[in-house]
Amino acid sequence: MRRSGDGETADSATSDGETRQREAEDQSHSRDLDSTAFLPFSDSPSNPESHLPLSDTSPLMHRPSKRLGQNFLSDSRIIDRIIRALDPKSDETIIEVGPGRGALTAQLLENSGAVVAIEFDRNLIAGLLERFGSNPNFKLVQSDALTTHFCSEIKPANQARLIANLPYNISTAILQRLIEQRACLTEMVLMLQREVVDRITAPAGSTDRGYLSVVVEAYCETEKLFDVAPGAFRPIPKVWSSVIRLNVRPRLAVTVKDEALLWQVVSAGFAQRRKTILNNLRSAPARLQELIKLHGGASIVLCQAEVDLRRRAETLTVEEWARITHSIE
């Protein structure tokens, strides 16, 4: 397991600078998390060429890439703790995103029925094949996790659990990709930057709560497991990490007729964090504004949903977002 793309640690104070940063992040989430992203995922053919070895580099000779921001997990105690948290079973398939040098892979193969490893860095491919390629239960896919069709890669299995160390700078996009394919994923044990985990698990009313918090809560039950100090990696990153468990819900946490509309509403609500939910809905994208006006305007919609007009997006529960959506469906 490797870490890549470490970000700077964000201050928890609610300064003007942080507010602007959070607004930019929420708007980025809105762009990344397409309004159709959470509809049932259709099958697409896997690329057979993605399984071919692309490099002769040995894992012992591989140097962490500064361009990719690679930091390899090296603390055996943390490795054991992550494996215990996942608790792989001999009759199941495990997806490992970012096996790196194989620190977790070896134990996964010892304890699970099959391991499907997704590695982006072509310079690590030959080394992983050298270590694990002779194991019939090991499948290596040289691919970008942002474009990988996980449900196709685990066949003939229909379901799998996933373990990954997600890079900070694209963690939102990868989480979107994983949630899109929730039909074949039952549980995910993920390591992310600690501040990202704090935002994912932030309850309604917390200043850390944002668009991503609502999305993950709607589709998964979350549990923060433990923090990981920078010294557990080589080279040592500048930030702390945290391990989180996401249990995929069998169905959306709330009942709505139009999931895409729900996420359009949440996206608009978090567009500018300083503004109230009323003002953000009044400034919603044109198509959503038209729909809101057809139902009497933002004030009427919020009153029908029994949501105080003066509240801000971070104070709303998933159920309240669903009531607002019901008011304009």
Split at pLDDT 50, 70, 90, the class of 172 is: confident
Interhelix angle 171-180/16-32, nearest 10 degrees = 40
Query: Do the domain assignments include residue 295?
Result: yes
Q: Please say which residue of 227, 248, 269 terminates a domain.
A: 248
CB atoms under 10 Å from CB of 8, counted, come to 10
Let me know whether 203 and 281 are in one domain: no
Let me know whether 317 and 172 are in one domain: no
Let me know whether 225 and 269 are in one domain: no
pLDDT tens per residue across span 112-121: 999 999 999 9
Q: Number of folded domains in the chain?
A: 2
CA dihedral 27, 15, 316, 278 (to 10 degrees): -70
Let me know whether 172 and 49 are in one domain: yes
Query: DSSP string covering 94-132, please?
Result: EEEE--TTTTTHHHHHHHSSEEEEEE--GGGHHHHHHHH
Query: Which of 208-222, 226-240, 241-255 is predicted least confidently?
Result: 226-240
CA dihedral 228, 234, 238, 244 (to 10 degrees): -30
Q: Please say which residue of 248, 271, 301 terminates a domain.
A: 248
The three-class DSSP label of residue 301 is: helix
| Span 211-233, average pLDDT | 96
CA dihedral 80, 86, 89, 91 (to 10 degrees): -130
CATH of the domain at 272: 1.10.8.100
The predicted pLDDT at position 265 comes to 98
pLDDT tens per residue across span 258-281: 999 999 999 999 999 999 999 999
Smallest CA-to-CA distance from 181 within 212, 158, 214 is with: 158
DSSP letter (8 states) at residue 65: P
Q: Please say which residue of 201, 216, 248 terminates a domain.
A: 248
Let me know whether 237 and 299 are in one domain: no
Query: Do the domain assignments include residue 253?
Result: no
Query: Do the domain assignments include residue 254?
Result: no
DSSP letter (8 states) at residue 75: -
Query: Do the domain assignments include residue 120?
Result: yes
Query: Which of 1-5, 89-93, 133-137, 248-252 is predicted least confidently?
Result: 1-5
Let me know whether 174 and 302 are in one domain: no
Whether 7 shows a pLDDT value over 80: the answer reads no
pTM: 0.81
Distance CA 128, CA 147 (A): 21
Split at pLDDT 50, 70, 90, the class of 176 is: confident
Query: Do the domain assignments include residue 18?
Result: yes
Query: Do the domain assignments include residue 308?
Result: yes
Distance CA 313, CA 272 (A): 9
The predicted pLDDT at position 25 comes to 53
CATH of the domain at 8: 3.40.50.150
Let me know whether 76 and 11 are in one domain: yes
Find the domain containing 160 and state its range: 2-248
Distance CA 268, CA 33 (A): 13
Distance CA 310, CA 171 (A): 32
